[in-house]
């Protein structure tokens, strides 16, 4: 099994290999995104706009939780793929063991901090007097399940890194397949409100965690979880964190961005504007996760072949990934700008004010959508080859360096419209700078191939 996966990563044609890894990753992340979106659809249509706004205020907190999952999951998965490329199976097992310990330690820390600063965080992230009750009801339950969230997410990334993309897809399908019917049962049938949505999410997380644990204890895995490797190794911990810090900061920055959005949305548009952002985020999640699926597919290919010094395959994967990402982003851009009203109405019954606000916000917010595809892929590439500092800069470029200042400057002059305008302006500026890095890296790869 191990040798077959290694041979596949080393020799299978890139187009065929990328497609083989992409479609299960795509189905998996779309299933994962779907159950988060279904939560919002149930909440918005059944419980109303205020409940939707309350849960939207929790969104930055959940992004922070995901950030810690990425810190360990992506950091360890890149290191694991590089180790497999070097044929160092023993080191790959040590990486897996260290990842498990780090997940447990960090989950406890996140849970404690979350409860200690729960109310000020929710107020900071846009929960108002009419919506904070919904936010608390949802977050109280989610925080208790932090370990399940981090473990399932991180270990599934490692399943994908060892070349088992299809099994990683099954993980997400199983989790989503449990969450969606439980949403209907808890919210519609048992009238449990936003707590019902939280319970449905927790149960699906628990099943995912058990599934990935059983995988790494079974014979179908490439890198098996052994008790003797479950102990902290300072050198490996630093290696994992050095790579994982880029996606971690990306998600952390995303949380700060969402908080900045929510604060300004409340100031210039009221609680309903926060609900509008919840709808826009749901659409953005579908678009971004489609490209993230491509990153998930390309990461083990790039990391493995970089470790094996097969630079032509690295170049081919990078080039094809950028092309596909641009096609994905442009296709969604056409859909969003063709059917905005229908998309917004999916989340609501007859709240005309929120529908109008959502359509206008979506049009402005997503006008530069075709530019983000190659940026996401570029950040993933630098992360996959171990260039943590470049990956961190490109990650923070749009989310922190450009977007956050715009979020506080433009609304001062243009009100709510300025909030929506900040995203496409940031996308455009970041795209130009990112392109410069991509061109430079392309030249560097060509020089390596010349030797």
CA dihedral over 330, 292, 253, 279, signed as positive or negative:
positive
Residue 166: what are its φ and ψ, rounded to 5°? Answer: -70, -40
Whose CA is closest to 64, among 143, 140, 144, 126? Answer: 143
DSSP state of 48: -
DSSP code string of 131-156: THHHHHHHHHHHHHTHHHHHHHHHHH
Q: How far is CA 337 from the centre of its chain?
A: 24
- Is 1's pLDDT higher than 50? no
Task: Report pLDDT digits (tens) over 139-167.
Answer: 999 999 999 999 998 999 899 888 787 88
Structure tokens at 50: 């205020």
Residue entry with tokens 């606000």:
357
- Mean pLDDT, rounded, of the chain: 87
Give the span between the Cα atoms of 121 and 295, in whole angstroms.
31
How high is the pLDDT of residue 32?
67
Asked if residues 14 and 313 have their Cβ atoms less than 8 Å apart, the reply is: yes
Cβ neighbors of 216 (< 8 A, separation 6 or more) are: 96, 155, 158, 159, 223, 224, 225
Q: What is the mean pLDDT of residues 76-91?
A: 87
What CA–CA distances, in Å, run from 126 to 58, 244, 266, 339, 426? Answer: 9, 28, 7, 28, 22
Model confidence band, residue 35 (pLDDT cutoffs 50, 70, 90): low
Closest CA to 103 of 125, 78, 137, 74: 74
Residue 217 host element (H or E): none
**Among 291, 321, 38, 322, which Cα is nearest to 185's?**
38
Name the domain count of the chain: 1
pTM above 0.75, yes or no: no
- Residues 33-60, mean pLDDT to the nearest whole number: 78
| Spatial contact of 142 and 196, defined as CB atoms under 8 Å apart | no
Helix H segments across 12-88?
14-42, 49-85
Measuring CA to CA, how many Å separate 299 from each of 78, 296, 341? 7, 5, 36
Distance in angstroms (rounded) separating the CA atoms of residues 368 and 371: 6
Return the higher-pLDDT residue of 352 and 157.
157
Domain region containing 287:
2-450
Picking from 172, 138, 144, the residue whose alpha carbon sits closest to that of residue 35 is 172
Structure tokens at 218: 């079974």
pLDDT digits (tens, 9 = 90+) for 85-143: 888 889 999 999 999 999 999 999 999 999 999 989 888 877 878 889 999 999 999 99
């Amino acid at each position: 099994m191990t040798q077959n996966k290694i041979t596949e990563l080393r020799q299978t044609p890139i187009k065929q290999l990328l497609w083989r890894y992409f479609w299960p990753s795509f189905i998996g992340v779309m299933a994962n995104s779907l159950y988060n979106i279904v939560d919002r659809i149930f909440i918005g249509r059944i419980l109303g706009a205020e409940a939707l706004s309350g849960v939207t205020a929790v969104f930055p907190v959940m992004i922070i939780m995901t950030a810690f999952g990425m810190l360990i999951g992506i950091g360890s998965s890149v290191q694991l793929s590089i180790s497999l490329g070097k044929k160092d199976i023993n080191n790959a097992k040590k990486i897996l063991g260290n990842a498990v310990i780090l997940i447990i330690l960090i989950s406890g820390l996140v849970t404690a901090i979350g409860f200690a600063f729960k109310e000020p965080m929710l107020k900071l992230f846009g929960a108002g007097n009419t919506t904070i009750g919904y936010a608390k009801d949802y977050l109280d339950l989610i925080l208790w399940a932090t370990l399940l969230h981090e473990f399932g997410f991180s270990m599934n990334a490692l399943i994908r890194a060892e070349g088992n993309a299809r099994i990683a897809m099954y993980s997400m399908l199983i989790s989503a397949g449990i969450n969606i019917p439980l949403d209907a049962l808890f919210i519609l049938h048992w009238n449990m409100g936003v707590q019902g949505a939280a319970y449905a999410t927790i149960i699906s997380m628990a099943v995912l965690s058990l599934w990935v644990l059983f995988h790494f204890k079974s014979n179908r895995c490439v890198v098996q979880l052994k008790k003797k490797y479950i102990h902290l190794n300072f050198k490996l911990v630093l290696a994992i964190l050095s790579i994982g810090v880029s996606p971690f900061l990306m998600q952390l920055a995303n949380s700060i961005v969402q908080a900045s959005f929510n604060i300004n949305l409340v100031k210039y548009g009221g609680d309903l504007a926060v609900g509008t952002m919840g709808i826009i985020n749901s659409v953005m999640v579908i678009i971004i996760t489609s490209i993230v699926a491509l990153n998930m597919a390309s990461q083990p290919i790039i990391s493995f072949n970089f470790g094996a010094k097969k630079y032509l395959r690295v170049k081919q994967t990078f080039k094809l990934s950028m092309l596909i990402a641009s096609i994905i982003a442009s296709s969604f851009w056409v859909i969003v700008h063709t059917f905005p009203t229908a998309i917004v109405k999916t989340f609501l019954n007859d709240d005309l004010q929120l529908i109008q606000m959502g359509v206008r916000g979506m049009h402005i917010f997503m006008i530069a959508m075709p530019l983000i595809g190659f940026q996401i892929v570029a950040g993933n590439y630098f992360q996959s080859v171990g260039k943590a500092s470049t990956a961190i800069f490109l990650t923070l470029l749009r989310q922190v360096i450009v977007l956050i200042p715009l979020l506080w400057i433009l609304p001062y002059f243009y009100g709510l419209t300025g909030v929506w305008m900040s995203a496409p302006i940031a996308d455009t500026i970041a795209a130009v700078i990112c392109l410069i890095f991509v061109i430079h890296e392309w030249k560097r790869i060509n020089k390596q191939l010349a030797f």
